[in-house]
Amino acid sequence: MTILVENRGGYRVLTLNRPERLNALTVEMAGALMEALDAAEADPKCRALLLTGAGRGFCAGQDLTAIANASPARIGALLEQYNPLIRKICALPIPVVCAVNGIAAGAGANLALACDIVLAGRSAGFVQAFAKIGLVPDCGGTWLLPRLVGQARARALAMLAEPLPAETAAEWGMIWRTVPDEELIAEAEALADRLAAGPTAALGLIKQALDQSTINSLDGQLDFERDLQEEAAENADFAEGLRAFLAKRPPKFAGGR
């Protein structure tokens, strides 16, 4: 199985599982990941996701052995398999944590960056490997990178295709933070668990608001926030949050979407 799915009550762990190839992506794997994302979305009990990789790497991007003789049209067509994954992760109404357990290269780097909160082991790294083989960053890299780290750093990362240590990625604001390698999975699980106990509908609306901010004017965004706030306030978790605050106790969010 190229994607492992583990149900942990409130959240699910999805593990890219081709460790002998540093979890390089294939069409079959993209299909399995898409199925797992769809299943998570359809299950109201699944309130967060954790994405990670098996073995010493997170994901080495497209499996290059699988495209050795591919025509340019086939290369383009392959992205029709990968793009829906990025769209789906960004549009999922639940938070997605990524635990980058080793090198994240090419499409693998951008798959990680599409997640909501990215943790990385201290020895992990990110490489926009595309230019090394004469390709262009894909899977949202040219959109995500300049927004995360600014144009100057995005251009150098994309054109030089040099590995960026996870620590630097965190300093630059490309990811949330690094943790010692041996603590990565426990930290990521604790984070997913915490998010899964959160006000799920509001967390989904927060994703929407931040995404929309990239295309809205301040004026438009203020209106959008007002509408989302009304929607959040209609959810029982808002009433519970208020009650808990006033009673000076921790909230117990039901997480209805």
Residue with tokens 């460790």: 19
CA 137 – CA 149 distance, rounded (Å) = 15
Q: Does 133 bind ligand LHQ (CB under 6 A)?
A: yes
Note whether 97 and 53 are within 8 A (CB). Answer: no
Q: How far is the CB of 57 from ligand LHQ (least distance, A)?
A: 6
Q: Does 16 bind ligand LHQ (CB under 6 A)?
A: no
Interface map 18-37 toward ligand LHQ (x if CB under 6 A): ---xx-x-------------
202: Cβ contacts below 8 Å, ≥ 6 apart: 232, 235, 237, 238
Judging by beta carbons within 10 Å of its beta carbon (0-12, 13-18, 19+), is residue 138 exposed, middle or buried? buried
Residue closer to ligand LHQ by CB (options 48, 164) is 164
**What are 86's two structure tokens?**
């990025």
Note whether 166 and 121 are within 8 A (CB). Answer: yes
CA 98 – CA 44 distance, rounded (Å) = 21
Among 53, 61, 198, 199, binds ligand LHQ (CB under 6 A): 61
Q: How far is the CB of 167 from ligand LHQ (least distance, A)?
A: 17
Q: Does 158 bind ligand LHQ (CB under 6 A)?
A: no
Letter string b/e over residues 73-112, b meaning 16 or more CB atoms within 10 A of that residue's CB = eeeeebeebbebbbebbbebebbbbbbbbbbbbbbbbbbb
Residue closer to ligand LHQ by CB (options 65, 71) is 65
Q: How far is the CB of 62 from ligand LHQ (least distance, A)?
A: 4
Q: How far is the CB of 133 from ligand LHQ (least distance, A)?
A: 5
Residue closer to ligand LHQ by CB (options 24, 149) is 24
Residue closer to ligand LHQ by CB (options 21, 194) is 21
Q: How far is the CB of 50 from ligand LHQ (least distance, A)?
A: 22
Among 40, 49, 60, 175, binds ligand LHQ (CB under 6 A): 60
Residue closer to ligand LHQ by CB (options 100, 191) is 100
**What are 182's two structure tokens?**
């041996």
63-102: which residues touch ligand LHQ (CB under 6 A)?
A: 63-65, 67, 75, 78-79, 82
Residue closer to ligand LHQ by CB (options 98, 195) is 98
Q: How far is the CB of 102 from ligand LHQ (least distance, A)?
A: 8
* Closest of 205, 13, 10 to residue 92, by C-alpha: 205
Helix (H) or strand (E) holding 3: strand 3-8
Note whether 161 and 130 are within 8 A (CB). Answer: yes
Q: Which residues bind ligand LHQ (CB under 6 A)?
A: 21-22, 24, 60-65, 67, 75, 78-79, 82, 103, 105-107, 127, 129-130, 133, 135, 138
